[in-house]
Structure 1
Amino acid sequence: MDIDVLGALDVRENGVSVAPTAPKPRQVLALLALHADRVVPVGDLIEELWSGTPPRSARTTLQTYVLQLRELIATALAPAPGADAARPAPRTPKDLLATAPGGYLLTCAGGRSDVRDFEHLTGQGYRAMDAGDFAGASRTLHGALRLWTGDAFADVPAGPQLALEAARLHESRLCALDQRIEADLRLGRHREVLAELTVLTSRHPTHENLHAQFMLALHHCGRRGEALAAYQRLHTTLERDSGMRPSPRLRRLQQSVLTAAGESLPAAAYTPPAARPAAVH
């Protein structure tokens, strides 16, 4: 099975989508797909579908949704026209969507999962950063971020379980983006990242690392006044929204920009902490 959840949900077997259109079966498939090859407890699926207020028929209804998914899988497994009808199918719907003690398990069966690919690539990228291979880190993290086509589960109505997972994946994406920009700055690609950082700091008005990277890129492009203005906007937003000030690390960067005048800042003038998310196992 090939699984995509980093954007619109799509699960394919033999190139045929098995994603239902009905909202609740779609939620079931999304949670199973995210945790492919792992048992998802019945309780988690019920919590996702009914948010703590399940009907008495919850388990029976969940079984019905699983049967609907298996019917879609059966269609995808059906032999193509002209194929040898006597040849036994190598897999059955119950092989791919199995009932397990306490829950259900969707088997990837040698297919690909965009979440797993993302986590593999980001792990490689972070190791490259730690080793000082900024070109390798930039290249690998670019590849990881290209796997995203939108917000995770973009077309799935999210209950509490999927909402939590979507938030976790969003943070993982933001961390990978932060580290990829850091790698590009270390490579001197200040002009290349300016437009991207303009959008990102507007979209994340209290994100210190992104603002620090924006300030560095602006300063190295000879736009010192705009770099200081970016700091002031962050300071104002933090104070207004949370009563906080920028961190000492960012205040030191502001002082470096003030005193450096037309000089370049060292590549490590601001190095964001690498808050890297744990992988889903």
Structure 2
Amino acid sequence: MDISVLGPFRAVQSGVPVHLTAVKPRKVFALLAVQADRVVSVESLVEEVWGERPPRSVQTTLQTYILQIRHLIADALRAADSGLPLGAKSVLVTEPGGYRLDTFGGVNDVLEYDALASAGHRALEAGDWPGASDYLGRALSMWRGNALSDVQCGMLLEVEATRLDESRMSVLHGRIEADLRLGRHHELLGELHGLATRHPLHEGMHEQLMLALYRAGRRSDALTAYRRLRSALNQSLGLDPSPVIERLHRAVLDSSPHLDLELLARAAV
């Protein structure tokens, strides 16, 4: 089974989509998919679907949802003429205390994304800017929207979706850092302007925008970006920019040679 959660939730068994529309069974299926090839306890499934107020018939109802998912998997297996000995029970396996979705080595976009992101962060730490840009760019290309965007997430799925979305921002920040190191400031300006607009309080994005503008010969625009960030932080949170931003602001005001890409390149040799 191939699983995609970096955007709308998708599951494909033997080339055939397995699609549930009912809200609660879909939550069960999504939690099993997020933790694919691992046992998900009955308690976790109940918590995800019903929170702290499960109905008295919770065990029977959960078993009904499992049966619905197995029926859809069975339909997909028949359509693909799969020869699994236990049919859908070979894919959605009953385990002591819970259930396990066996992907049989299918594609899992989260696992592929995490591997690319980890490789990209290692490349960043090593100063391998081309490698970091490549790995992190490939990781970002796997996204099709917000994680699990079409699932009404309960507590457990919300935690996983938040983790993935935060990771996406970290990977994006790292890829832009690598691209800045590679002298791609002109190409980054449009992307960074959009990010700064969507995330008016994100200091890291504004720092990168200021640096790209300065290196593109737009010193006054870099100072304008700083003023916008300072105003947004003051109005929304009553805060001043961080010391990192303040140091960059002073460096831009002073046209510090330490901001020049050529100087950074020589220092790295």
Task: Tell me the TM-score range normalised by the shorter chain.
Answer: over 0.9
Aligned residue runs from structure 1 range 59-138, under 5 A: 59-78=59-78, 80=80, 88-90=83-85, 92-138=87-133
Contact kept in structure 1, 2:16 and 2:79, CA below 8 Å: no
1:265 aligns with 2:259: yes
What is the alpha-carbon distance in structure 1 between the residues aligned to residue 60 and residue 198 of structure 2?
43
Q: Which residue identity lines up with residue 51 of structure 2 in the other structure?
A: S
- With 116-125 and 97-106 compared, the bigger mean Cα shift is at 97-106
Q: Is the 8 A contact 2:84 2:90 kept in 1?
A: no
What secondary structure is seen at the aligned counterpart in 2 of 1:19?
Answer: coil
| Structure richer in helix, relative to its length | 2
Partners of 1:206 and 1:88 lie apart in 2 by 54
Give 1:236 deviation, angstroms. Answer: 1.4
- Corresponding residue for 1:195? 190
1:139 corresponds in structure 2 to 134
- The residue type equivalent to 1:257 in the other structure is V
Amino acid across the alignment from 2:224:
A
Moved over 6 A (4+): none
CA distance in 1: counterparts of 2:156 and 2:83, whole angstroms: 38
Q: How many equivalent pairs are there?
A: 264
- CA deviations 1:101-143 (Å, max 9, x no partner) are 2221111211110000000000110111111110111011111
Residues 269 and 203 of structure 1: is their aligned pair in 2 closer, same or farther, counting only changes over 3 Å? farther
- Shift in CA distance, 226/2, structure 1 to aligned 2, threshold 3 Å: same
Q: Which residue does 1:167 correspond to in 2?
A: 162
Q: Is the CA contact 1:219–1:264 (under 8 Å) kept in the aligned structure 2?
A: no
**What is the DSSP-based 3-state SS (H/G/I as helix, E as strand, rest coil) of the residue aligned with 1:120?**
helix
Amino acid at match of 1:46: V
* In the alignment, structure 1 residue 46 sits paired with structure 2 residue 46: yes
What is the CA distance between 1:268 and its match in structure 2? 11
The amino acid of 1:191's aligned partner reads: H
Partner Cα separation in structure 2 for residue 221 and residue 145 of structure 1 = 25
Deviations 1:52-110 (A, max 9, x none): 21111112111111111011111111165xx6xxx953552112111122221111211
Task: Supply the distance in 1 between the matched residues of 2:90 and 2:57 (Cα, whole angstroms).
Answer: 26
Distance 2:43 2:225 in 1: 47
Partner of 1:13: 13
Partner of 1:276: none
The answer to whether the 8 A contact 1:220-1:264 is kept is no
Aligned residues of 1:253 and 1:269 also touching (Cα < 8 A):
no
- Residue from 210, 213, 223 that aligns with 2:208: 213
Contact 1:9/1:19 (CA < 8 Å) preserved in 2? no
Tell me whether 248-257 or 152-161 shows the greater mean CA deviation. Answer: 152-161
Q: Once the two structures are superposed, what CA deviation does each residue of 1:9-40 show, in whole Å capped at 9, x if it has no partner?
A: 11111111112111111111111111111111
Instruction: State the one-letter code of the partner of 1:116.
Output: L
Q: Which runs of 5+ in 1 are unaligned?
A: 271-281
Could you give the per-residue CA deviations for residues 185-208 of structure 1, whole angstroms, max 9, x where no partner exists? 000000111111111111111111
Supply the distance in 1 between the matched residues of 2:83 and 2:108 (Cα, whole angstroms). Answer: 27
**Root-mean-square deviation (Å):** 2.0
**Equivalent in 232, 252, 255 of residue 250 of structure 2:** 255
Counterpart in the other structure of 1:25: 25
1:25 and 1:65 in contact (8 A); partners too: yes
Encode CA deviations 1:154-208: one digit per residue, 9 max, x unaligned: 1111122222211111101000000000000000000111111111111111111
User: Is 2:172 the partner of 1:177?
Assistant: yes
Query: What is the TM-score with the length of structure 1 in the denominator?
Result: 0.89
Which of these residues, 140, 151, 158, is aligned with residue 156 of structure 1? Answer: 151
* Alpha-carbon shift at residue 252 of structure 1 (Å): 0.3
